[in-house]
Homo-oligomer: A and B are copies of this chain.
Amino acid sequence: MNRKAIVLVSGGLDSAATLAIALEQNFDCDALSFDYGQRHIAEINAAKRIVESFKIKNHKIFNIDLTQIGESALTDTTIDVPETPAEGIPVTYVPARNTIFLSLALAYAETQHTFDIFIGVNAVDYSGYPDCRPEYIESFARTAKLATRAGVEGANFTIHTPLIKLSKSEIIKKGQQLGVNYSLTVSCYQADEKGHACGVCDSCRIRIRGFNDAGISDPTTYQTS
């Protein structure tokens, strides 16, 4: 029997590639997504399509309303998504988002007797979010062992970050080799209901450059301006 894993699937291309990699590594994967009050339902719909495309049986969608915290362009519609590059950590940063998501993934994993969690964070072509860096992930994993009954009883939770040191074009190439259908993915921070992308936000810019560098055609549909 293959070892089980929980894979966080957001609807973007990174997590789709991460799911493909976890399957390639012969993990028996459950998918976990968060409906957290993000700007657009397109993200959750994309996550569902990606999970279905890989024939994953269990897809848990956890509802947690982070608009109760706000202070991010992704969870507060009164803050505009930036459409030009800026210095430092952008306003699309959601306070402690990966810690919240990994905590919930940890809780869910513990109930499933699963000790491998995959998350598609990347610290090369990214928006500069602190909770995408290797030192953060390592620290969370240490905390996870101390936090849980399973950890006290001897389990070691492994937080797998197969993309963390890859460039966006390397991720795109790897995902393509493993059968990711990029037309199902949505990266845009302000996609419309159909999943059509704005083409100008940070996430769109990183995606467009990644496909260009990879020499692969991007199937994304962009909003007509």
Asked if A140 CB lies within 8 Å of chain B CBs, one says: yes
Contact of A99 among B68, B103, B135 (CB under 8 A): B103
Q: How would residues 83 to 106 of chain A score, 1 for a CB under 8 Å from any chain B CB and 0 otherwise?
A: 000000100011111111001101
Let me know if A139 and B136 touch, CB within 8 A. no
* Contact among B106, B143, B149 for A93, CB-based, below 8 A: B149
Name which of A107-115, A172-180, A195-203, A216-224 contacts chain B. A107-115
B62 near A152: Cβ-Cβ < 8 Å:
no
- CB < 8 Å: which of B66, B95, B110, B143 contacts A148? B95
Residue of B95, B106, B136, B146 touching A106 (CB-CB under 8 A): B95
CB distance from A12 to the nearest CB of B (A): 20
Say whether A96 contacts B89, CB under 8 Å.
no
Q: Does A49 contact B (CB under 8 A)?
A: no
Interface size range of chain A in the complex: 35 or more
Q: Which residues from chain B contact A95 at a C-beta distance below 8 Å?
A: 106-108, 110-111, 148-149
CA A99 – CA B107 in complex, angstroms?
9
Is A133 positioned at the interface, with any CB of B under 8 Å from its CB?
yes
Instruction: Name A111-159 residues within 8 Å CB distance of B.
Output: 111, 130-131, 133, 135-136, 139-140, 142-144, 146-149, 151-152
A104 contact from B69, B139, B143, Cβ within 8 A: B69
7 smallest A-B Cβ distances: which pairs? A96-B107, A95-B107, A71-B111, A136-B146, A95-B110, A99-B103, A139-B143
Given contacts A63-B65, A130-B149, A139-B143, 18 further A-B contacts (CB under 8 A): A60-B68, A62-B69, A63-B68, A69-B108, A71-B111, A94-B107, A95-B107, A96-B103, A96-B106, A96-B144, A97-B107, A99-B106, A100-B104, A130-B152, A136-B147, A140-B147, A142-B142, A142-B143
